[in-house]
């Protein structure tokens, strides 16, 4: 009996030992699979990453007494008395960059060197060189610098950002907070992000730590090739950083090398994103596409017959998403023919457009869509707002350039119209995708509406236009 109990205890102990050993081996195996060896990549990349220190002249308010009276009864007096007293002073900023040619060409963010009076580049070897700006593009936030090194420098090769997939490993390299040679790892979290930083946002999102001072540093793949330039963080978000795709940088480089402003394609439209409500109203099968809310005068779009209210759903046969359209158009060469798939009045059509060259101030070239009208009445709709024919008095009240047409005169604050953001003074350009020239026409379109619970309108507000959908209140 004793021998039997001994065997049972021994069996239990051996079982526990076996389970423990299996756990250790599985855990070690999982770690070996999940984490690549970053050391060879870091050793390859770090020698070509530089620290950029700039001096800028900035203007600021000055209190000649410093903190002397900060806690005294006179603090408010001195603050008020000297609040208009300003002076120029020098400020120093830090950033990162990476070498792309052995003779000293360096890429960084434009905002890192913007308005700099002095630029110093510190190499990985602690050598310091003066740098000059060869070319820059504020809209994409890229600058090209040049130093004159005493020897050939190590360089980084540009990769293909379009081949990067969500979930793939990347390394962010730079000098956050002035700490040179810092490497952080993460994955590609998303592609084509629009964060409102510029007109052509198309960022790579990563959770690799990007901090102040990382700007201009490279984001590299597991081959050590640059697939992005670290450029932005969200202050309120942890683990959210953004990089300019390498393919965008490669498009810019030929212009920057020559010190030229990049020539970009121009369609000449203003667009809005599709919402589920608008897509349902227009009987669209998906949210892919961009609503055209304005067409600029004499633009390629106007010449091709594109109209406000059209929904652009494809470009050269490829389905398009609203945030991608400005980027895709801008980085297509002027003079290129593109075929746009458009939905108009529930029918799909195509328009061939020859892209122009993007002007500096396209917002000043708006296409007038309001036509003459002889009506002079008003109408209260069941959707929580009222309209009236534009007359000289209303034109003066609402500061309208138009002297004919239909204008919104009041909005119920508790209505869906108010929720949709329409305001008194908005001019009605289209109702349910039909041009509106008069109150009678507005009423007739409303009467013919098959779905009386929801309407869509194209409105003009000042120099802007917007597309809205409104439910019956």
Candidates 109, 307, 295; CA nearest to 197 is 109
CA-nearest of 139, 118, 127, 141 to 99 is: 127
* Domain 265-364 and domain 378-471 have a common topology: yes
User: Does residue 174 contact residue 216 with C-beta atoms inside 8 Å?
Assistant: yes
Please give the structure tokens belonging to residue 377. 């009445």
Is 234 assigned a ligand-binding role in the annotation? yes
Greatest mean pLDDT range, 117-121, 209-213, 231-235, 399-403: 117-121
First to last CA, the chain: 87
Architecture of domain 50-68+76-146: Beta Barrel (2.40)
Q: Worst-scoring range by mean pLDDT, 41-50, 95-104, 397-406?
A: 397-406
231 is in an annotated binding site: yes
CATH of domain 378-471: 2.30.42.10
206-222 tens-digit pLDDT: 998 888 778 899 999 99
- 129 close to 71: Cβ distance less than 8 angstroms: no
444 is in an annotated binding site: no
Are 391 and 406 in contact by the 8 Å Cβ rule? The answer is no
Element (H, E) at 347: strand 347-354
Look up residue 44 and give its two tokens.
Answer: 């390859």
3-state SS, residue 244: strand
Q: 116-154 pLDDT, tens per residue?
A: 889 999 999 999 999 999 999 998 999 999 999 999 999
d(C-alpha 52, C-alpha 128), whole Å = 10
Cα 29 from Cα 27, distance rounded (Å): 5
Residue-wise pLDDT for 440-470, tens only, equals 888 888 888 766 778 888 998 887 888 888 8
Residue 215 in marked binding region: yes
Token pair recorded at residue 112? 């890192």
| Alpha-carbon dihedral angle through residues 204, 207, 213, 217, given to the nearest 10 degrees | -50
> Is residue 270 within 8 Å of 239, Cβ to Cβ?
no
3-state DSSP call for residue 395? helix
If pLDDT is split at 50, 70 and 90, which confidence band does 375 have?
very low
298 is in an annotated binding site: no
Asked if 439 contacts 407 with a C-beta cutoff of 8 angstroms, the reply is no
| Annotated binding-site residue? 209 | no
In angstroms, what CA-CA distances link 217 with 49, 148, 176, 223, 229?
7, 20, 10, 17, 6
DSSP state of 21: H
Q: For residue 232, say whether it is annotated as part of any ligand binding site.
A: yes
Q: CB under 8 Å to 127, separation ≥6 — which residues?
A: 149, 150
Give the tokens for residue 429: 């350009």
Asked if residue 301 lies in contact with residue 286, where contact means CB atoms within 8 angstroms, the answer is no
Question: Could you tell me which residue, 413 or 30, shows the higher pLDDT?
Answer: 413
Does 282 have pLDDT greater than 50?
yes
Mean pLDDT, range 420-439, rounded to an integer: 87
Per the annotation, does 329 bind a ligand? Answer: no
Sort 422 into a burial class: Cβ within 10 Å, 0-12 / 13-18 / 19+. buried
235 appears as a binding residue in the annotation: yes
Catalytic residues: 111, 141, 215
The answer to whether 76 and 33 are in contact (CB under 8 A) is no
Better-predicted residue by pLDDT, 134 or 345: 134
pLDDT value at residue 293: 73
Can you tell me the distance from the alpha carbon of 90 to that of 102, in angstroms, rounded to the nearest whole number? Answer: 32
Say yes or no to pLDDT of 264 above 80: yes
Q: Where are the domains of the chain?
A: 50-68+76-146, 161-257, 265-364, 378-471
Name the pTM for this structure. 0.66
pLDDT at 367: 31
| Over residues 8-17, mean pLDDT | 60
Measure Cα distances from 41 to 44, 48, 224 in Å.
Answer: 5, 12, 5
Instruction: Specify whether domain 265-364 bears CATH 3.40.50.300.
Output: no
| Domain 161-257: assigned CATH number | 2.40.10.10
**Mind giving me the DSSP string for 16-67?**
HHHHHHHHHHHHHHHHHHH----HHHHHHHGGGEEEEEEEEEEEEE--TTTT
Distances (CA, A) of 255 to 135, 239, 313: 8, 33, 31
Q: Is 305 annotated as a binding residue?
A: no
What is the rounded CA–CA span in Å between residue 459 and residue 473? 19
Using only C-alpha atoms, the chain has a radius of gyration, in whole angstroms, of 30
């Amino acid at each position: 009996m004793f021998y039997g109990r001994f065997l049972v205890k021994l069996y239990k102990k051996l079982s526990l030992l076996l389970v423990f050993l299996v756990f250790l081996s599985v855990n070690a195996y999982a770690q070996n699979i999940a984490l690549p060896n970053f050391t060879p990549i870091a050793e390859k990349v770090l020698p070509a990453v530089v620290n950029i220190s700039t001096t800028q002249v900035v203007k600021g308010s000055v209190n000649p007494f410093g903190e002397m009276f900060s806690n005294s009864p006179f603090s408010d007096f001195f603050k008020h008395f000297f609040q208009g007293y300003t002076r120029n002073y020098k400020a120093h900023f830090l950033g990162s960059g990476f070498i792309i040619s052995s003779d000293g060409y360096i890429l960084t963010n434009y905002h890192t060197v913007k308005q700099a009076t002095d630029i110093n580049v510190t190499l990985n070897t602690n050598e310091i060189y003066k740098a000059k700006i060869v070319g820059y593009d504020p809209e994409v936030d890229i600058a090209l610098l040049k130093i004159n090194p005493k020897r050939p420098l190590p360089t980084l090769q540009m990769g293909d950002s379009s081949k990067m997939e969500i979930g793939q490993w990347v390394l962010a390299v730079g000098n956050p907070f002035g700490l040179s040679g810092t490497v952080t790892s993460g994955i590609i979290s998303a592609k084509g992000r629009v964060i409102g930083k510029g007109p052509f946002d198309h960022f790579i999102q990563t959770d690799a730590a990007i901090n102040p001072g990382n700007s201009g540093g490279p984001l590299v793949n597991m081959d050590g090739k640059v697939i992005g330039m670290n450029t932005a963080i969200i202050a309120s978000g942890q683990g959210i950083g953004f990089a300019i795709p390498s393919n965008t940088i490669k498009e810019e480089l030929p212009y920057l090398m020559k010190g030229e402003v990049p020539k970009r394609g121009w369609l000449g439209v203003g667009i809005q994103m599709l919402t589920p409500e608008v897509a349902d109203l227009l009987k669209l099968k998906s949210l892919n596409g961009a609503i055209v809310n304005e067409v600029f005068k004499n633009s390629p779009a106007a010449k091709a017959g594109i109209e406000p209210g059209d929904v652009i759903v494809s470009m050269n046969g490829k389905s398009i998403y609203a945030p991608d359209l400005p980027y895709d158009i801008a980085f297509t060469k002027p003079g290129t023919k593109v075929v746009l798939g458009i939905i108009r009045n529930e029918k799909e059509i195509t328009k061939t457009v020859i892209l122009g060259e993007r002007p500096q101030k396209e917002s000043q070239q708006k296409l007038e869509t309001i036509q003459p009208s002889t009506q002079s009445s008003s109408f209260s709709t069941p959707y929580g707002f009222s309209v009236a024919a534009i007359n000289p008095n209303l034109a003066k009240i609402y500061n309208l350039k138009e002297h004919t047409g239909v204008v919104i005169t009041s909005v119920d604050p508790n209505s869906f119209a108010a929720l949709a953001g329409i305001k008194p003074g908005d001019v009605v350009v289209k109702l349910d995708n039909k041009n509106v020239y008069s109150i009678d026409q507005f009423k007739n379109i409303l009467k013919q509406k098959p779905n009386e619970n929801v309407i869509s309108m194209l409105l003009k507000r000042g120099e802007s236009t917007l597309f809205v959908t409104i439910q019956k209140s």
